[in-house]
Amino acid sequence: MGNQALQGIRIIDLSHSWAGPHCSRIFADFGAEVIKVEYVRRLCLLRGGRKDEKAYDKHVAWCQVNRNKYSVTLDLKNDKDHELLSDLIRSSDVLIENSRTGVMAGLGFSYEDVRQLKNDIIMLSMSAFGHTGPYASCSGYGAVMEGIGGIQSLTAYENSGKPLRIKELDITNGVAGACAVMNALFYRSRTGKGQHIDLSQLEAATHSLIGEHLLEFAMNGSCSLPTGNRHWKYAPRGCYPCKGSDKWLTITVRNQDEWQRFCEATGKMEWLTDKRFSNLESRRQNHDDLDMEITEWTKNKSPSGAMRILQAYDIAAAAVLDMEELVANSHLKKRGYFASVEDGEEKKIMGFPFSFSDSPGKVRWSGPELGFHNQFVTEKILGRPTEEAPSFSEDEVGTAFDPETE
């Protein structure tokens, strides 16, 4: 194995919550030195609300999303800390922030300010709606962008049912941000120039989730979604109850050949000659009847047992896995997906979203304790005397929620 892909790259991470920190997590996993700047009086919400026994240092969400990072505590309204950050920027390649439009400028760290400190800096701004336009100053969490982006309107149990959320958008947006930074790093390696990226989380999520559906609407004036667990074209497609509480199997039959094999696999050869199910059109018309018949077949089987029966006939079928089942999943184990932390903690952790033949991902440590690297950053990175290192007292620490919220 060779070096890590991002070795030698230093990133200052001023982002909070999930999307920005997820973006910098990927860089940290693949070798970049990510220095997370924290504000003691209002901690990142991933540190939770509790202060007792420094619960904010142990929060699972924090430890996962900020693994491999350095933590330094700075108050950017304080001149000395402002100067420390300026110094850090002078020695960095990338600056990541996801504040509301205008916040960075108010702190004296707009792109123009930052460029004065480091001419070829790459700055990624990932605000909710972008830095321009009538919504520029609005704030947004996932539920806001998912709604306003039209993403939410495409998922419901029935076509006219209540639109439901599909997931937080932070991963989609974090990865889009990481793509933007990689683009800019490559461009800098060829031209010597840095640049500013104005990423609108609304736009990035829309692009990478529903671009095809917006095009369908633009072309046809309508959209084939939502369809619940059914498909606008294939039949049968559904999620069927199995033996046990909240145990389910999904099945997708995409063409007549698969239908033939599905009937063989289930041993229901009579379905092949049943007029209600003989072709795609009739199966779509009689989907309710078909679902009842399929449920008769699934209801006394385990999801994984039924999945194996159907997969043996090359039918797309899957057990709906919950968290416990994923943790114990034999496929993921066999692939060596789950990892552990290199610093000796006995913690099981998630692995990496992709693997390179010649540049390993690594998890050296979990999300750091608040200000854990204050000394290191001051002395080793900035070369300043140890007494200049930031410090704080426990009384100053404030969380993003009521102190009793997990």
Partner 1 sequence: MQDTILKDIRVVDLTHFTAGPYCTKLMAGFGADVIKVEKPESGDAMRGMGPFFENQEDPEASIPFLWLNTGKKSITLNLKSNRGKNLFKKLIGQADFIVENFSPRVMPALGLSYETLNSINPRLIMVSIANFGNSGPYSDYKADEMELQAMSGLMHLTGDSLKSPLCSGPSLCQYSAGQHAYLAALMALFQRETTGKGQHIEISIQECSLENIEISLTRCLQTGQGARRGPHMMVPWGTYECRDGYAAVIAMPYRHWHHAVDLFKEPALYQEKFATLRERIKHRDEYENLLCPCVKSYKKKTLFNRGQQMGLSFGYVADLDDVMQSPQHQARGYFVGIDHPVVGEHKYCKAPFLSSLTDWKSAEAPLLGGSNSAVYSELFEYSEKEIKLLAEQGVI
39 vs 376 by CB, closer to partner 1: 39
88 vs 204 by CB, closer to partner 1: 204
Q: Using the 8-state DSSP alphabet, how is residue 369 labeled? A: P
> In the complex, what is the shortest distance from the CB of residue 362 to partner 1, in angstroms, rounded to a whole number?
14
> In the complex, what is the shortest distance from the CB of residue 250 to partner 1, in angstroms, rounded to a whole number?
5
Tokens linked to 116: 């004065």
Report the run of H or E that residue 294 belongs to, with start and end. helix 287-298
> In the complex, what is the shortest distance from the CB of residue 290 to partner 1, in angstroms, rounded to a whole number?
16
Residue 226, phi-psi category: left (phi > 0), alpha (psi -120 to 50), beta (remainder) = beta
Q: Distance between CA atoms of 346 and 354, rounded to whole angstroms?
A: 24
Q: Is 186 exposed, middle or buried (0-12, 13-18, 19+ CB in 10 A)?
A: exposed
* Full DSSP string of 79-121: HHHHHHHHHHHHT-SEEEE-PPTTHHHHTT--HHHHHHH-TT-
User: Which value, to the nearest 10 degrees, does the dihedral of the CA atoms of residues 354, 355, 360, 363 take?
Assistant: 40
Are the C-beta atoms of 347 and 341 separated by less than 8 Å? yes
> In the complex, what is the shortest distance from the CB of residue 194 to partner 1, in angstroms, rounded to a whole number?
8
> In the complex, what is the shortest distance from the CB of residue 251 to partner 1, in angstroms, rounded to a whole number?
8
> In the complex, what is the shortest distance from the CB of residue 219 to partner 1, in angstroms, rounded to a whole number?
5
134 vs 383 by CB, closer to partner 1: 134
72 vs 96 by CB, closer to partner 1: 96
Report the run of H or E that residue 19 belongs to, with start and end. helix 19-29
77 vs 335 by CB, closer to partner 1: 335
270 vs 314 by CB, closer to partner 1: 314
61 vs 382 by CB, closer to partner 1: 61
> In the complex, what is the shortest distance from the CB of residue 222 to partner 1, in angstroms, rounded to a whole number?
9
Query: For residue 84, how many C-alpha atoms fall within 13 Å in the half-sphere facing its CB?
Result: 28
